[in-house]
Chain A
């Protein structure tokens, strides 16, 4: 895929032309949401790693402070 023709105007050009880019963006969104979930929500209402509270307790203060519901 060629990237040689970026417009030289001052406004922002379209920079995501094709499928490979879409996959990268999709993967990044999935990663971001997964981290968001584990830092903010896991082992509260729902739990991925079983019925313990290690993740919840470790991120306890950050959860409260970042605005997530807790306890």
Chain B
């Protein structure tokens, strides 16, 4: 039984990944390219400033894959693999939630688990550490940023699971409606504390030491020795649209997964008519 759910989870995850990839190819790639162009322009301006100051020029990064490969094959493989992995984890979460989350229809539960996956694995961590386009993010802090991001994902998922457990515990005493609201409130408070307690990326030691105390790592305007701006800061509109599309792509992925998985799960869990039922199908 559980294998059937897992296979279906992988399948709907891959479908969601394909849809998210199509969206990304159309909407995100132009933004990513614009961000890379900004970065290249900024590096060139920095090189001119360095030369004027008599500093040695930094060696340019060599390309492992062309932008064409990265922007078509790489993002496609990445989104579809990510979708399949999320689909597998989603199926496990669904199977574990079955029978433990109150009186829900299989279809409704499928949509709720997908909502939980979207919130826990992406949207709540995004509130604290949002997705960043290329050129936003310092290489020195990748270790700290990876750790903090994973911590935020782990905390978000753990708090959501605990909130569901708490809601089930409170239900006999307060009834379904009030118990759900109380659990949601507890969840919001716990997440608020976590978001408040974790450091801003701009406040990491390496960043404060090198760039001064700013809330984020978004590049500020580049200034010459006289303090004049010679290259602008990272474009605000570009940052916004990249993040909006990032949220949209994850919403597409999880919505597609929930909507495709719902009827499949319903069919697996509802007894089929006796004439059609096979004893050991897959």
Contacts and interface: CB of A to CB of B under 8 A. Distances in A.
Interface in A29-62: 29, 31-36, 38-41, 44-46, 52-54, 57-62
Interface stretch (B48-56, B140-148, B163-171, B230-238): B140-148
Nearest to B71: A61
Interface stretch (B24-32, B179-187, B192-200, B205-213): B24-32
Contacts of A35: 81-82, 84-85, 88
Contact of B105 (A10, A29, A60): A10
A28 B89 contact: yes
B250 interface: yes
Contacts of B130: 67
A12 B249 CA distance: 30
A36 B79 CA distance: 11
A11 B102 contact: yes
Interface string A7-41: 01011111110000100110011011111101111
Given A28-B91, A69-B129, A14 B99 contact: yes
Interface band, chain B: 35 or more
Best-buried of A3, A29, A58, A71 by chain B (most CB within 10 Å): A71
Contacts of B271: 6, 8
Contact of B2 (A24, A39, A65, A70): A24
Nearest to A27: B6
Interface string B1-27: 111011001000000000000001000
B259 interface: no
A29 B75 contact: no
B24 A65 contact: yes
21 contacts: A12-B97, A15-B2, A15-B95, A28-B6, A32-B85, A32-B89, A33-B85, A39-B82, A45-B147, A59-B74, A62-B82, A63-B78, A64-B131, A64-B134, A65-B242, A65-B246, A66-B249, A67-B122, A67-B130, A68-B146, A70-B132
Interface of A: 3, 6, 8, 10-16, 21, 24-25, 28-29, 31-36, 38-41, 44-46, 52-54, 57-71
